[in-house]
C-alpha cells in the first residue's frame, strides 16, 4: 500500500465517523502529517494523527530507505481513554476492511 492509499482510507474513515454521530474536523493536512479532531455525542474529544517519519527510516538495501508511518489517537490524561480506544479500534477495523495489503505501507526516498 502506498501513502496516498492510506491517506484516502483515513479520509474516508473520517467521513464514515460522522455517520456514527461523531464530529470530525481536519486540523492539519500536509504531506505525511495529518491531524483531525474527533468528538463523540457525549462531548469527549480526541485527536487522530498520521505522521510520516522519513528521518528515522531503516535502510533495507543500498537504494531503499523506507520511511516510518505512525498513527494514533491523542487524548487528555485520564479523559477519553475509552473513546480513544474506540476510535483507534474503529480505524483499524475500517482499514482492514478497505485494504488488500494492510501490513505494509511503501514510501521510499532515494
Mean pLDDT throughout 23-40?
Answer: 92
Q: How many CB atoms within 10 Å of residue 48?
A: 24
Encode pLDDT of 41-57 as tens digits: 999 999 999 988 756 54
Virtual torsion, Cα 15, 6, 89, 12, nearest 10 deg = 10
Strand partners, 66: 108
Place of cell 523506507: 66
Mean per-residue pLDDT over the chain, rounded: 81
How many angstroms separate the CA atoms of 40 and 87, rounded? 10
pLDDT at 37 over 90: yes
pTM of model > 0.85: no
19: phi then psi, degrees, rounded to nearest 5: -70, -20
Amino acid at each position: 500500500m502506498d501513502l496516498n492509499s492510506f491517506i484516502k482510507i483515513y479520509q474516508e474513515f473520517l467521513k464514515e465517523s460522522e455517520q456514527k454521530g461523531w464530529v470530525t474536523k481536519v486540523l492539519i493536512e500536509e504531506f505525511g502529517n495529518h491531524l483531525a479532531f474527533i468528538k463523540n455525542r457525549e462531548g469527549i474529544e480526541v485527536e487522530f494523527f498520521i505522521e510520516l517519519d522519513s528521518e528515522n527510516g531503516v535502510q533495507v538495501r543500498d537504494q531503499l530507505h523506507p520511511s516510518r508511518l505512525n498513527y494514533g489517537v491523542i487524548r487528555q490524561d485520564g479523559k477519553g481513554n475509552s473513546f480513544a480506544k474506540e476510535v483507534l479500534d474503529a480505524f483499524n477495523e475500517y482499514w482492514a476492511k478497505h485494504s488488500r495489503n494492510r501490513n505494509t505501507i511503501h514510501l521510499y526516498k532515494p
